[in-house]
């Protein structure tokens, strides 16, 4: 029997009203994954007036989303769209690069795709 893992790990650092959000997505994400992570993000960002968020999304082990989870992801991004300053997507698949371009339509900050984690972090630190 092959056991396939999936899920999200999250790291969140705060300095004043600035946040650094790090997400690592593995496998195929589900609605249940978002039922856990959405309240965490909403709670952290909801405590600060006008939060500013830089995010690193590690999609190097991401295979995709279940349909309902994709909708959950869109809703979460839409709710906090004005709070994101920069989002770096680190991955290794062509569809992830396309996602980064589409992400620019929905958030007020910048979204860029990287195939190198160090380059992604350097861009966030600029």
pLDDT given at position 115: 94
- Over the stretch 53-107, which tens digit does the pLDDT of each residue have? 999 999 999 888 888 888 888 888 888 888 999 999 999 988 888 888 877 777 8
Reported for 47-52, long-range contacts at CB under 8 A and 24+ positions apart, including other chains, are 48/14, 48/17, 48/19, 49/17, 50/17, 50/83, 51/17, 51/18, 51/19, 51/83, 52/17, 52/18, 52/19, 52/83, 52/85
CB atoms within 10 A of CB 11: 10
Cβ-count burial of 57 within 10 angstroms (0-12 exposed, 13-18 middle, 19+ buried)?
Answer: buried
- pTM for the structure as a whole: 0.84
10-65: pLDDT as tens digits: 888 888 889 999 989 899 888 998 898 899 888 888 888 888 999 999 999 988 88
| pLDDT of 123 over the 90 cut | yes
Cα 64 from chain centroid (whole Å) = 13
């Amino acid at each position: 029997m092959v056991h396939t893992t999936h899920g999200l790990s999250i790291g969140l650092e705060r300095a004043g009203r600035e946040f650094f959000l790090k997400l690592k997505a593995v496998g195929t994400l589900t609605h249940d994954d978002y039922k856990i992570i959405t309240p965490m993000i909403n709670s952290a960002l909801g405590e600060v007036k006008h939060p500013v968020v830089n995010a690193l999304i590690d999609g190097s082990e991401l295979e995709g989303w279940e349909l309902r989870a994709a909708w959950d992801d869109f809703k979460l991004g839409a709710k906090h769209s004005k709070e994101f300053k920069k989002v770096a997507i680190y991955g290794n698949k062509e569809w992830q690069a396309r996602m980064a371009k589409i992400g620019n339509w929905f958030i007020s900050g910048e979204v860029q795709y990287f195939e190198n984690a160090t380059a992604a972090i350097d861009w966030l630190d600029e």
